[in-house]
Amino acid sequence: MQVSVETTQGLERRATITVPAATIDEKVKEFLKSEYRNRRINGFRQGKVPPNVLQKLFGTEARARAAQELMQSKYFEAIMQEKINPAGPPSIEPKVNEAGKDLEFVATFEVYPEVAVQGLDKIKVEQPDVTVTDKDVDGMLETLRKQHASWKEVKRKSKKGERITIDFTGRIDGEEFDGGKAEDFALELGEGRMIPGFEDDIIGMKTGEEKTIEVTFPEDYHAENLKGKKAEFDIVAKKVEEQVLPELNDEFVATFGVTDGGVEALKAEVRKNMERELKNTVQSKVKEQVLKGLVDNNDVDLPSAMVKQEIDGLRRQAMQRFGDNQAQMPELPANLFEEQAKERVKVGLLLGEVIRSNDIKVDDAKVDQIIANNASAYEDPEEVVAYYKGNEELLQQVRNVALEEQAVDFIIGQAKVSAKKASFDELMNPKQK
């Protein structure tokens, strides 16, 4: 077998591979003998058809199949022989495929880029310095109480934080518009569900009161025909309700599966969950900064095959969100995912080089730590840990995560890290800009 490899452009390579005529002729004979000799042919007993007859009847088909199989196998032999590491599947095209002649074909593929990571000491990371305080825990308990609150009707003016049931009819330039009308619409005042100004003008209304308000749709409103438009809404208040919070007692605690220890036990459980979520959020925000700095300080040629593969994966994930309806959905265009795919491929190549060049190996203690952290969110952590340890595929996924986290930790060790004080609420519930 003869192999010659040339660079066409960028990461693309073209390999011309020549297979001796004797090799493919022998492969054709094997196919004729194993795949075609038992065919039923008039004038011959089954399995007794002479080779020259098989060649005449099936030679062309057998050669096509033999060439296809040989081109695949010889391609892999060629890249191993030339010590080439393709970044994706090849495009294979036969050039010469005739009886008695050498089989010649061309394989076009991309290779992985040469990656040299630099500038790790230029990466800036702000490490959030946050602790869960007693006030944070009390705030979370208050949130839990609100989530389990009931509503009681009152005969007075509505206030922020209360619920009002209304009928409304909207008009623009005196004409009603689609989506601008509703009956028995329950609205919790202060939640910001409606367009700016709508809820503010309703606060203070009481049961039976009617009112007309004027508001303006935002310029970035999702409905094109309503962007920036001024509208009038006729409002009829039908019911006002105040929120009734459950008492913080053993009965309330029991709704969360806490049967021993009462309120203090619930507080301890809430704190544990908050600290776990805080740890994951801090880790995520630090990692985000590390990866951004890594990408910003390093240029890498991206194999289009890898980008395409990543696009396909992102597209599948997006389609899965449609559940049972995905069969009726058109294929989402590639350009929706292209930038994200390129970013992922670049991060993967750069992290891979950090791991390779610094000989980072999977730390079993790190693997156990990740599994324990994931398991702590479940009722029976030991059962979850055992499930991870007994599932090799799942365990390998965790090993991959651990290796990536170790690479990030290595970069943090080279980067410029500064602490930034913040509260739990600031970190976990950042205000939208």
The pLDDT of residue 323: 72
Instruction: With a cut of 70, say whether residue 47 has pLDDT above it.
Output: no
The pLDDT of residue 432: 60
- Token code pair at residue 216: 């303006």
pLDDT digits (tens, 9 = 90+) for 184-223: 999 999 888 899 999 999 999 999 999 999 999 999 998 8
pLDDT digits (tens, 9 = 90+) for 118-146: 999 999 999 999 999 999 999 999 999 99
The pLDDT of residue 57: 66
Contacts of 57 (CB under 8 A, 6+ apart): 36, 41
The pLDDT of residue 428: 93
- Token code pair at residue 381: 């952590």
Burial class (CB in 10 A: 0-12, 13-18, 19+), 393: exposed
The pLDDT of residue 50: 60
The strand pair at 150-154 and 416-421 is best described as: unpaired
pLDDT digits (tens, 9 = 90+) for 263-318: 999 999 999 999 999 999 999 999 999 999 999 999 999 999 999 999 999 999 88
Contact 162, 243 (CB under 8 A): yes
Find, among 11, 12, 10, the residue nearest to 106 by Cα.
12
pLDDT > 70: what percent of the chain? 93
Task: Flag the least confident range among 39-43, 170-174, 356-360.
Answer: 39-43
- Classify the phi-psi angles of 197: left when phi > 0, otherwise alpha if psi is within -120 to 50, otherwise beta: left
Instruction: With a cut of 80, say whether residue 48 has pLDDT above it.
Output: no
- Token code pair at residue 253: 């605690």
Instruction: With a cut of 80, say whether residue 152 has pLDDT above it.
Output: yes
Mean pLDDT on 335-359: 95
The pLDDT of residue 44: 63
| H or E segment and range at residue 6 | strand 2-9
Find, among 33, 102, 100, the residue nearest to 62 by Cα.
33
Instruction: With a cut of 60, say whether residue 38 has pLDDT above it.
Output: no
- Whole-angstrom CA distances from 268 to 104, 116, 258 are 72, 48, 11
Mean pLDDT on 164-193: 94
Q: Say how far apart CA 293 and CA 119 lie, in whole Å.
A: 9
Residue whose structure tokens are 């495009």: 91
Average pLDDT value over all residues in the chain: 91
β-bridge partners, 342: none
Contact 212, 232 (CB under 8 A): yes
Find, among 69, 33, 379, the residue nearest to 77 by Cα.
69
pLDDT digits (tens, 9 = 90+) for 90-124: 999 999 988 889 999 999 999 999 999 999 999 99
